Amino acid sequence: MFKNYFKTIIRNLWRNKTNSFLNIFGLAIGIACAGLIFLWVEAETNYDSANLKKGRLYIVRNNQNYDAGIFTHSSTPGILAPSIKEEIPGIANASRITEDLDSKLFTIGDKSVYASGKYAETSLFNMFTLPFAAGDAGNAFTQIHSLVITEKTAKKFFPEDAIKGDDYKKYQNIIGKRVRVDNQQDYVVTGILKDLPENSSLQFEWLSPFEIYFQQSPWAHKWENSCLTTYVELDANAHPASINKTLYNYVQKRAPASISHLFLFAMNDWHLYDDFQNGKKSGGGRIEYVRLFSIIAWIILFIACINFMNLATAQSEKRAREVGVRKVLGAGKKSLIFQFIGEALFMTLLAAAVSFIIVSLVLPAFNTLVQKNLSTGLNNPIHLLAMLFIAIICGLIAGSYPSFYLSAFNPVFVLKGVKFKTGSAAFIRKGLVVLQFTISIILIIGTIIIYRQIQHIKNRSLGFNKDNLIEMNVQGDMQKHFSLIKQDLLNTGVIENVALADHETIYGGNNTDDFTWEGKTPGNKILISNRAVTPEYFSTNGIKIIEGRGLQINDSIEATATNLNGLNVVITQSFARLMGTGSAIGKSILSESNPADKATVVGVVNDYIYGDMYGKPDPVIFIELPSQYAKVMYLKIKPGNPEKALAQIASVMKKDNAAYPFDYRFVDDQFNQMFLSEMLISKLSRVFAALAIIISCLGLFGLAAYTAERRTREIGIRKVLGASVSGIASLLSKDFLKLV
């Protein structure tokens, strides 16, 4: 019986080649699209899965309550980790690590290489799964100037040693080698970690002992200052809710003025659910993209299945006699349903095989699009089972209606040649076409909305000019020789202006609620961002002074951002509005923690967007930058020839800061980087919306071809009577055009 069924399937496929091709190819495209999406979803949902203790690892989050709402971040006091490990039952281990990646210059012989990393405690190796290719966790940080690097970094630092011998020996040769960091201090390579997985939240090129950072950062020793990331590992039987109760007021008991309220945030949620609204997990975040594209995958599969159903029912008259003969010879309705479902499953399995070829061919381009390194992973049984599951589901959905429809034919009417009514089938077929194109058009509309929203945000007025603006890390003698470097750069004729700052313009920086002023309601917690900049900063970044004057060289007396110390300061419009009506020029800003300190407002600049490009401008105070706090240099190049400008800048930096290779970034590139997720969603939406339309059009083409075939005699008569080709094409198309 199965042999006969198989022969029938092959004969039908061969007899209806065009129809079979459209069915199989349409399903293959749908399954391939779904396969690519599910590979991406798998990578997203498996984030941090390489960590064996994933279920017990947490990051300590910090809720701070201001008048504008509760802000959630991961900065914690520098002395928190050892304290909670010792005092709170259930915490098995804790580790401190610096928040941001720190780019350092590493000199190996006559070669200099930049690499980014962090300062961390040894306990990090015991908590996270960080396997060593050479060395071990116990000896990693036994000496203060130690360096643990990844395999990729080892190949960058020591390319010759890293390619000799087997895996263990080639890295073992590197252990004990010395590298010079920032041309100041020699560090010893004490360990080499296997490269971090791509889907790991913890990323770095090197790690050094936390003690180095702690010794150089006196502010990190105070409970009032949140400046580090804290990871904790819980005991197997610990209750996070109970520990959170203890953590809530843990900082207040040691620093009563603090507004920090701490809580544990599980590693299982770091990547997908890292979105907090007013201090509470919103349930959104990256998971929204995962849900969105999972739905799109099933929608595309459904559209492909609709094609199958439409083409199968449209061909019903050709199969009617076969059904009639089988019924006369004793075939029951169930056996016919089984046969037609079997045909559908066979075709979907063929489509699945074709889809694998499609996925293999387009996966490199898809990886480039989503910036991942996905693979088909056919050695993974889960992938094979998933592909088989998708094929079976598609076969059952696509073959269900045709099988019940065909098996219901009356053999007497069929064999007598009596025309049977096809109105209900035609109505359903038209309904499916409408549904198919409705879904496709919805996808297109959604894609347009996403694209326009991104363009709106990217084209909104930022309050500063990011075009032709270059940013460089301040290194070596750039602080000490800034005046000389600035003059040499201006002398090239390709630079308009140069400035220093303590933080990057488009990202967040320092902020505090310590500022107060006349008219401010006592007890109000208003978060004010503070920036230390040189006087040229505003003109270099295109920030306009709208009242008063800018900063001058003598406006600072080596002050810090929260030690006002008689400063003249510049503020933004939003800060000026907080200070009440009338001009802000001449008004005083004081420190609540040190009322003797007082600053005077000498200028107001326009608001500018930073950090959250979708948000509104936050109030900012600018002070004149003491030289030792400079972290970044900004260069405004003249329009025209950026390649020439870069060559001139490189020449100046080679002369004035020879120990450090020229390294730079364009601010507009940084700006675009802030929209990577949104632009990825936009690109993926466009691709899959286009594919949904293509799949729908394949089905429509099949129906149109079948309609033309059925009306061959009518078309012949019309042409004999003088009908034109365009007229006949219009006649055949208008019914489908109405549906679309």
Share of the chain above pLDDT 90, in %: 39
Res. 559: pLDDT tops 50 = no
Q: Which pair of structure tokens corresponds to residue 18?
A: 């065009």
Average of pLDDT values for 18-22? 71
Provide the pLDDT confidence category of residue 560 given band limits of 50, 70 and 90.
very low
Q: Mean per-residue pLDDT for 418-444?
A: 72
Query: What's the pLDDT tens digit per position in 518-533?
Result: 888 887 888 899 899 9
For the residues 412-422, what does the mean pLDDT come to? 52
User: 544-548 long-range CB contacts below 8 Å, 24 or more apart?
Assistant: 544/605, 544/606, 545/570, 545/603, 545/604, 545/605, 546/573, 546/604, 546/605, 546/606, 547/576, 547/583, 547/584, 547/585, 547/603, 547/604, 548/585, 548/601, 548/602, 548/603, 548/604
- Residue 633's pLDDT band, with cuts at 50, 70 and 90, is very high
Name, of 27-31, 195-199, 208-212, 341-345, the range with top average pLDDT.
208-212
Q: Tell me the two tokens of residue 411.
A: 């053999």
pLDDT per residue as tens digits for the range 592-621: 877 778 889 999 999 998 888 888 888 999
pLDDT at 546 over 60: yes
The whole-chain average pLDDT of the chain stands at 84
- Mean pLDDT calculated for residue range 550-564: 62
**What tokens does 620 get?**
């900012």
In tens, the pLDDT along 670-714 reads: 888 888 878 888 888 888 888 888 888 877 777 776 677 677 788
Confidence (pTM)? 0.81
Q: How far is CA 506 from CA 275, 313, 503, 543, in A?
A: 21, 59, 9, 12
* 27 contacts 486 by C-beta, under 8 angstroms: no
| pLDDT at position 637 | 93
What tens digit of pLDDT does each residue of 43-102 get?
999 999 999 999 999 999 999 888 778 889 999 999 999 999 999 999 999 999 999 888
Ordered alpha helix ranges (H), 119-161? 123-127, 151-157
Measure the CA–CA gap between 702 and 432, rounded to whole angstroms. Answer: 14
Q: Measuring CA to CA, which residue among 345, 472, 360 is closest to residue 398? A: 345
pLDDT in tens, 236-263: 999 999 999 999 999 999 998 888 999 9
Matching residue, tokens 């290194």: 475
Other beta carbons less than 10 A from residue 335's beta carbon: 15
Nearest to 137 by CA among 209, 51, 214: 209
